[in-house]
Structure 1
């Protein structure tokens, strides 16, 4: 029943009629099964990466997406729901629908590595990130991210931090790279934006695969926000469990307050300087226009 509910997007009433069960029985089965999935699969399919796993992720980003020292791509996805009673505009988002936000960090193979689920739909991606355990743990250096290392063949740039790539909605940090803003930017900066966008697309593709497989995420979900977090987390866990490299192209071609293992992370720590973040971005820009050049990038800008 639970897998049918996630995969088909049918309502509880439709499933109850199909299986000749009571609506309350189906609803309880979905709730209990999601809780069991989350309890049994969290440690094996969405555990917080170790330092060596971060290095492996960075190696794959460098090989597949030509962005070294990248440990993930981050973005937010709005999960639609019916307007909760007495919630006012808390869940009302910029698309004029009601939703909760799934914030995710995805690796180079479209697997979810860190998730933060359940923020109000009215919140921006940057605001969700700043208040999430993910953002606070990165700020406080609690995620076992490896120490800075040199970019390939660019010893003159010195050691560079490992970073996550995101779009313009996220703040520029030494551990979060965002594009250069505006239209009046140099060719070199446009190339950096292209290279960052190319790496960042993995999180967009992961969301496409997730919602194509679990079609409940394509429709408005008739569940109270207090219970929807468990369902979304189950979908992410099952996505990681089922995803195989050979399936990725097939899915992409046919589609056009809980954080799992992050709960125990302390929020202590302070921000790293904005000036240092600008310097890191400029060094990446210099690298992509020299030692890290790829043959097709000029044609793309």
Structure 2
């Protein structure tokens, strides 16, 4: 084992489970599971001239960069590698994660599968006929060069938006990432492939099925949102609002 490999071993040995959680937002077991899923796609052999970067280090650096926003420069210095090395393996690791985990984000493909989702919502959240909860989340970024105010949002920061549909157990059924933060949730939804699929009725959602959203989204026959707080609400409307807002417990987090 060369000097570089020994340094990697020592650096990795200093990463505690707490560090891993803070750096990558994954537990030790989750990280290990993901690593084994993508190892064949990102592992390289040592050569006569240099030792290959360990898969553990590649995954850790990639997830840390995505989860915390640490700069490429600081991560390269921490792991003692050139910035160009990080830039070369980063897209490879991202694609490996996408390819390995693509099966975990799947929309139900039949009425029977949607009815299973609806049953879970009824049992877990006391909300009948719900096929999913829709919401958006701002992901803070640095202002891209020459982008002006395109990514500047109402929170006075720069961001891109993650739009997601989740089931009653927090599993993602659909996700759309990358719209600039200046656009509101309704605008992101309107342009999404999920909205097009709803409009074209190609999802095989049962006729009674609905998606639960908040005030930012449009009210439709298959999208429910709380009654407006303006004016007097009767008891039934208040109960509906309370139940609908329980879905906010199902939210996207960083």
Q: Find the counterpart in structure 1 of residue 247 from structure 2.
A: 199
Give runs of aligned pairs for residues 117-266 of structure 1, distance below 5 A: 117-146=177-206, 148=207, 161-184=208-231, 185-202=233-250, 204=251, 207-208=252-253, 211=254
TM-score, structure 1 as length reference: 0.61
Question: Which residue in the other structure is 1:108 paired with?
Answer: 168
Q: CA deviation at 1:108?
A: 0.6
The reply on whether 1:48 has 2:107 as its aligned counterpart is yes
Q: Distance in 1 between matches of 2:118 and 2:156?
A: 37
1:4, 1:68 → 2: CA distance?
Answer: 43
Give, in angstroms, the shift of residue 105 of structure 1. Answer: 0.2
Q: What is the Cα deviation at residue 47 of structure 1?
A: 2.3
- Distance in 2 (alpha carbons) for counterparts of 1:34 and 1:136: 27
Shift of 1:182: 2.2
Partner of 2:29: none
1:43-82 alignment, distance < 5 Å: 44-51=103-110, 52-82=112-142
- List runs of 5+ in structure 2 lacking aligned partners: 1-57
Counterpart for residue 91 of structure 2: 31
Q: Is the 8 A contact 1:72 1:105 kept in 2?
A: yes
The higher radius of gyration belongs to 2
- Please state how far the C-alpha of 1:4 moved relative to its aligned partner: 3.9
State how far apart, in whole Å, the 2-side matches of 1:126 and 1:5 are: 31
d(CA) in 2 for partners of 1:92 and 1:183?
A: 29
Cα deviation digits, residues 83-113 of structure 1 (max 9, x gap): 1111122111111111111000011111111
> What displacement does 1:25 show?
0.9
Counterpart of 2:23 in structure 1 is none
C-alpha displacement of 1:117: 1.3
User: How does 1:93-104 map onto structure 2 within 5 Å?
Assistant: 93-104=153-164
Q: Is the 8 A contact 1:5 1:15 kept in 2?
A: no
Q: CA deviation at 1:118?
A: 1.0
Q: C-alpha distance in 1, partners of 2:94/2:188?
A: 24
What SS does the corresponding residue of 2:244 show, helix, strand or coil? helix
| SS of match in other structure, 1:173 | coil
- TM-score w.r.t. the length of structure 2 is 0.71
Counterpart contact for 2:162–2:177, Cα < 8 Å: yes
Does 1 or 2 have the higher relative contact order (CA < 8 Å, sep 6+)? 1
- Aligned residue in 2 for 1:6: 63
Q: How far does the alpha carbon of each residue in 1:20-63 deviate from its partner, in whole angstroms, 9 at most, with x for none?
A: 21112113222210012112321x11123222322111111000
Q: Matched residues in 2 for 1:92 and 1:197: separation? A: 28
* CA deviation after TM superposition for structure 1 residue 6, in Å: 2.1
C-alpha deviations, 1:260-296, integer Å up to 9, x for none? xxxxxxxxxxxxxxxxxxxxxxxxxxxxxxxxxxxxx
Q: For the aligned residues, what is the CA RMSD?
A: 1.5
Distance 2:210 2:60 in 1: 35
